[in-house]
Amino acid sequence: MSAYDVLARAVLALAPAGTLLGEIPDETPLPWRSMRVSVPGVSERSEASPPQAFVVRVSLLISAATDTGALRLAGEATDALEGRRPEVPGWLCGPLLSRGSSQPYTTNVTVQAANKRLVSVPMSFEFAAARLPEE
C-alpha cells in the first residue's frame, strides 16, 4: 500500500462518524463531511532513497443546512482530530494540528428538502509522518 493509502485511512479512522474520504455521492443525506488527505512531497530521504518523512495535509469540508449545524459539526471534527496521532504500523506520526478554518459560507448548492442554500466550513490540519526503518 502507498504512503497515501495508509496515512489517509489512519486519519479517516479518527474522524467523526459519517466522514467520507473524497467526493460525497449525490444521494448522501446531509450533513456532509468530506475529507481529503495529501502527501505533497518528500521532506527527507534515506541513503537508500525511498521516501522517509512527509508533512501530511488534511482538508475537511463540513456542509450542513444551517450555519449553526455547520459550526457544531466543525467543533466535533476539531474535538476528534486536534492533537490526535494517527496510528499506522511501520510509521511514527505526529499529532494532527489545526491550520485554520473559515467562517461558514453559503454555497451555490441548494438543499432541496429545506429550500435553502448549503452552508459549508472548510477546515485544515497537518501532521508529520515518518516511515520507521524495517528491522
Q: Say if residues 95 and 126 touch (Cβ distance below 8 Å).
A: no
Distance CA 50, CA 135 (A): 16
CATH of the domain at 102: 3.30.2000.30
Q: Say if residues 7 and 86 touch (Cβ distance below 8 Å).
A: yes
Contacts of 128 (CB under 8 A, 6+ apart): 43, 53, 54, 55, 56, 93, 94
Q: Say if residues 61 and 101 touch (Cβ distance below 8 Å).
A: no
User: Which residues form the domain of 15?
Assistant: 3-131
Instruction: Name the domain count of the chain.
Output: 1
User: What does each of the 135 residues of the chain score in pLDDT, given as a tens digit?
Assistant: 788 899 999 999 999 999 999 998 877 888 999 999 998 765 555 555 555 788 999 999 999 988 999 999 999 999 999 999 999 999 999 999 999 888 888 887 776 666 678 899 999 999 999 988 876
